[in-house]
C-alpha cells in the first residue's frame, strides 16, 4: 500500500479515483452526485474527457503529480456502484488500497470536506456496494458534506434532492476543495493530506 506507507506513491503505481452518483439528468444536480461533480472538476483540471469502458464505468486516464490516475464514474445507479467499479479494478489489476472514492456524506455539514481511510459505510448504499464487491473496506474516501435533512424529510429524499439556492451559490467551493483533496493525496500521501484537509475542516 505505497500511497499509505510512504509520503508518495511509486511513479508506476496506478490509482483509481471514483466519484459516486446516479446517472441521468434527473440526478445530475443532486446531493448524491457530489462525488461525480468532483470527477468533473478533475476532468477540467486535466483537460480530459470521459470515455466508455467495458467495465461499465466512464473513465479518463490522466497524470497527476507524475502518477498514472484513472478517473472514473459508474453508469449504474448508486446502490450498484460496486459491480462496475470492481470490474474496472480487476481490469487494471489495481488493489483496493489504490482506490480513492469520492462521495456525499450526510454526517458532515454542507461545505466541509474530510478524508478517511476504511471504516464503516454509515448507511451509504454506494459504499456498501463497493465494500461488498471488493470484499474490503481498505480504500480511501474523500467525503463531501451535504448535511442532514431538516424537519421530517428522510435521508433518502434529502440526498436525491437538489441543493438549496444558498447552497448552490457556495457549491463550487467544496467541489473545488474535494478535487484539491484528491490531488493532495496523490501528491503528498494520505497521512499528510488527511492532516491538512481534516484540520482545515475542524477550524
- Structural contact between residues 137 and 116, judged by C-beta atoms closer than 8 angstroms: no
| Eight-class DSSP state of 77 | -
Residue 32 bears catalytic tag: yes
Please tell me the distance from the alpha carbon of residue 203 to that of residue 201, in angstroms, as a whole number.
6
Catalytic residue among 32, 53, 98, 158: 32
Q: What are phi and psi of 61, to 5 degrees?
A: -95, 120
Task: Sort strands 15-19 and 67-74 into parallel, antiparallel or unpaired.
Answer: parallel
- Structural contact between residues 141 and 101, judged by C-beta atoms closer than 8 angstroms: yes
Q: What are phi and psi of 118, to 5 degrees?
A: 50, -150
3-class SS shares of the chain: helix, strand, coil, % to 5: 45, 20, 35
Strand partners, 58: 52, 73
- Structural contact between residues 108 and 144, judged by C-beta atoms closer than 8 angstroms: yes
- By annotation, the residues acting in catalysis are 32
Amino acid at each position: 500500500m505505497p500511497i499509505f506507507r510512504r509520503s508518495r506513491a511509486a511513479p508506476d503505481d496506478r490509482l483509481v479515483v471514483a466519484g459516486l452518483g446516479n446517472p441521468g439528468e434527473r440526478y445530475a444536480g443532486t446531493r448524491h452526485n457530489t462525488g461525480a461533480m468532483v470527477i468533473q472538476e478533475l476532468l477540467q483540471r486535466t483537460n480530459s474527457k470521459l470515455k466508455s469502458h467495458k467495465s461499465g464505468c466512464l473513465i479518463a486516464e490522466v497524470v497527476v503529480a507524475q502518477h498514472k490516475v484513472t478517473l472514473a464514474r459508474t453508469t449504474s445507479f448508486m446502490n450498484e456502484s460496486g459491480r462496475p467499479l470492481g470490474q474496472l479494478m480487476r481490469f487494471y489489476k489495481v488493489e483496493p488500497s489504490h482506490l480513492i472514492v469520492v462521495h456525499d456524506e450526510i454526517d458532515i455539514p454542507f461545505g466541509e470536506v474530510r478524508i478517511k481511510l476504511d471504516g464503516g459505510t454509515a448507511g451509504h448504499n454506494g459504499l456498501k456496494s463497493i465494500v461488498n464487491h471488493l470484499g474490503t473496506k481498505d480504500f480511501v474516501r474523500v467525503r463531501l458534506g451535504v448535511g442532514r435533512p431538516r424537519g421530517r424529510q428522510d435521508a433518502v429524499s434529502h440526498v436525491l434532492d437538489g441543493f438549496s439556492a444558498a447552497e448552490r451559490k457556495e457549491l463550487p467551493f467544496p467541489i473545488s476543495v474535494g478535487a484539491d483533496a484528491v490531488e493532495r493525496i496523490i501528491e503528498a500521501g494520505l497521512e499528510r493530506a488527511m492532516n491538512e484537509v481534516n484540520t482545515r475542516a475542524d477550524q
